[in-house]
Structure 1
Amino acid sequence: MGGNTITTPATRVPAASLAQSRAARELGLKRGEFELAVRLGRVRTVPAHDGGRRRVARDEIERVRGTAGFPESLRERVRAVGTTEGASLMDITTARFTRLARAGILTPVRFYLNRYRAVVWLYLAEELREFAAAEVNAPLMTGRAPDRMRARLDAGIDLRPRNWRSRHAGHLLGQSDDAWERAAAVASLLDPVTVLELVKCPYERGYLSKLRPESTGHGAPDSPSARIAERIMTADDPHEISWLRASLLLSLAEARGLRSAPRPSAGFPAVAPPAPDVVPAEPSKGTGEQSPPDTGPLRPSRGLLGRFRRRGA
């Protein structure tokens, strides 16, 4: 279950635009609420003139303010809840809620690390209510879980990280107005060794690194919390990795057809290869192990990127 996380890109920047912090204040949203509103497309952003952080057009502020029930309706549409509150909204036990989430039936919209560095997943309250109200989902709410679902859960599979990454990818690609930016967004979900394998040119790697989307803060760089968050944000499922590899190659082919990556003189230094002992990060204990879904062999096509943009972290 995923929502629309794509933020509509704009081809030009209106003269009257606000920094995101100012836009959040004008809309009466807390920082986390505003960030989620942007990720879900509830508030649309535009590129900044100077290439910095995206901004919010004044017209967009007025559009959001003009929606029915503002501001309470907007806050409710971006309300994220944890397992206990989510189970209460759906009128099921927390154990059943967790199993539905681990099985990939419920898709997290955010995550954070608590004081013990355990991963806490958050879900969109609006989506949970819609799921519970749909008659087709009644068997999952009260009945015995399907055999296939129980087998996967018994095997220890946890699809929450992968589903969140899918949603996150949709947001990143929705904000990418350029082929190189789209390639950088896909590359940010792969481990450095895989990127090195696929992108041989050091200037291209440097450009992708320069364009890499800003990551959500989860502690100081190289801190234990930051390393856990990095593992969550890096694909570790074989089929997911294959899909991302194909998407990166397609994005690079499109980007190279438009222009070459800048050389160091243009301000984009080449990225040196990682040390030989660098290996892809293993899944953290807080997220659970993942195993490949039952899908057929991957056949890369240009439909991959379009599908990635439409999918709902």
Structure 2
Amino acid sequence: MSNVSVSQLVNQVDKSNFTLYTEWEDTSFKIMVLRPSTLPLSGEMHIENAHYFLNHLDESFETYLENTKQAFSGKDTDIQFFLQDESYGTTFTWKQQNVLTRGEIIMHSLSNILILSDTLKQSLELYQEYQERALTLKNENEHLKKTNTQLIVDTEEMTNKKSTMEKDLYKKFLLLLNTKKKKIRELQEALNNTKRITTKSAYDETTDDESDDSNVKSKKVYDTKLSKLRKHKLDYDNDQEIISKNSKKDFKKRINFSSSESTSPEPSTSKGNLMLQNVDMYDTVKSKQVLNSSEEERNSSEEDIFSQ
């Protein structure tokens, strides 16, 4: 069976309603106009008849056919239909925004009952097919509604069970948490009591061996420092004796040298006295230097001893 469409349209000439029946083919389409108390009108358009409109609209026949189907459905409000009588017959015209003519078909009256019978038969078959499809869709819709209702009930039931389970788990968790806290407090109290009883740590005790070793080491260090101090004193005494001998020798040499050079006794005596004073001063300075050096070494030794 051909692709058929039926729609209710308005004639812009007299504002009357009419029924448009269309059979769509690949290269043509046929139409039938049904009006109250009037003979049916029929017409058709082939691809050859559509060349003028195709060139004018710059469209292919396939595109033109699809646009015409959309226009005949009555859903496009920009399309107006005109059904009017002319001297050469009745014409069916459709325009876009009442300006651009998209098609025109010359209509003829149908007086042959066979054509009407075939058209009616096709319409009834199409109606039956659509009715069966509508019934199938209705059953599917009812099934989907029932399924949706059952899903809503199941979801609410699961939500209630989930809430109840969460409450039970929360109660058990609180009980377990309070028990753990109580146990921790008891252990903390026991630990505090143990700390109070134990007043002295084992690490605070000292051993006798460690004290004895420390005393022995201190005594050895003291003896070493004392022997160094005695050695320094002995070295100091030896240095003093050597300095005294050298001073006397130098004094005698200088006296003899001054006696040989001088002819008068008075200058010789004065020079001898001057040389003697210089020697004494030299001995005094040298003795002080040695004494200071020895004193510094002794003080350093004593500080080392007492610092141990």
Shorter-chain TM band: under 0.3
The structure whose RCO (Cα within 8 Å, separation 6+) is larger is: 1
Q: Normalization by structure 2: what TM-score?
A: 0.16
Q: Normalization by structure 1: what TM-score?
A: 0.16
Q: When you count strand as a share of all residues, which structure comes out higher?
A: 2
Q: When you count helix as a share of all residues, which structure comes out higher?
A: 2
